Structure 1
Amino acid sequence: MILDHARAVILDKGYRRATIADIAQRAGIGKGAVYLDFPSKEAVLDALLARSVREMAAAVRGRIDRHGAPVTLSELYGISMEALLADELMLAFYLADDSVLGDYVRDKGPGRYGPRLDWLTGYATDLREAGLLRRDVDPRAASLVMSVFAVGLINAGPVLGGLPPDSLAQAVRQMSALISAGWELDPAGADAAAVRRAHDTLLDRLDEQTEAP
């Protein structure tokens, strides 16, 4: 599969140094065959990141399925970020090609990420109604805080001079702990079925967006 070879090339050379010719050579095909599926290197990156997000969503669903009690917002946030950073390619973008993701997010802009903020707001609202979040938590403000943190991690490398993997993981754990301490109620009192519906709705929307052409 072309994407598998593209992933290997990018891990080996880095995104900025990798070329369509490199990908074609690794796949044992001509450049024209790559261009039949992907009009540019940027399109290859888009497909690779979409695949990573789908795999992250699948991993999160699996963790939810294996969880006995309702999964809280802090747990889901931590699980999602950990799954993303467990992807070797995504981790390389954070640590080695540390300006690639920032450029990508800025290029896609509100058209790609604006809906995700709306989905996260709806998700937080559903969790509040299900009894997992305090009534005084503003879902929009909470969603913005989580989104700003995620975007900040993407841009932290170029600004701060690089971050080791342990620092990224620790930052995610600390953010999850802050969400838990500041916003959440005891999950034992929550509507477990409503919580699961909220999780499924959010993950379904993410899957639908990443499947879009």
Structure 2
Amino acid sequence: MAATTVTDAGSVRIITEVIPATDPRAAQLVSGSQPPAAARTSFQTQGFQRAHPKVLGTIHIFSGIIHICFGIILTLSEHDNPSLPVASGILFWLGILQLLVSGSLLVESERRDSPMLVKTCCVVNVGVVLSTLVATGIHGMAITRHMPGCEKLRPFQIRPEWCLNMQGKILSNGLDSTLVLLSLLGFCVAVAVLAFGYDIVRQHRYTQLVRN
């Protein structure tokens, strides 16, 4: 049976009730005082959530789709004389393996409060940073190079017909410039993910060390 004490403090009366451990109300009070598991997990990743990973992931997804679409168009139009970006396949492996994968993980990381998922996003975005730098270099080389087959010719060698049409080179340079901007955008998004996810990864490693 619960013991009740009454204390008068001026105009205030304080009633204190002591509930035994066997009382069903004690279990309800204990369970109600503990924060839910979802709230504890959310606290671990709330720093990363401030970066709005769903927005960053959406940018990566659309950038990856544009890379793949441009890759298909340029591959079909340059199948006889592929340019450096087409020959390297950078438009496909950057769009599929990096940007689309990273974008999907970032969108999922906003739905699930998982430090391990944040760590995976950081690892993938390290690859995105390196890949976008390589892609920027390849597109830059393509802009400065002549069209395939239009390099300095040997004596008595006939210049191909497409070398006389500079509009093709201008269009190619415009596409490469656009892809450079998309690569730089992907680079900035990946750096933002790494900046916000670094503390989460460090805290996760510290927690594992303490548990071990």
Higher relative contact order (CA closer than 8 Å, sequence separation 6+): 1
Greater fraction of residues in helix: 1
User: Whose radius of gyration is greater, 1 or 2?
Assistant: 2
Query: What TM-score, normalized to structure 1?
Result: 0.29
Greater fraction of residues in strand: 2
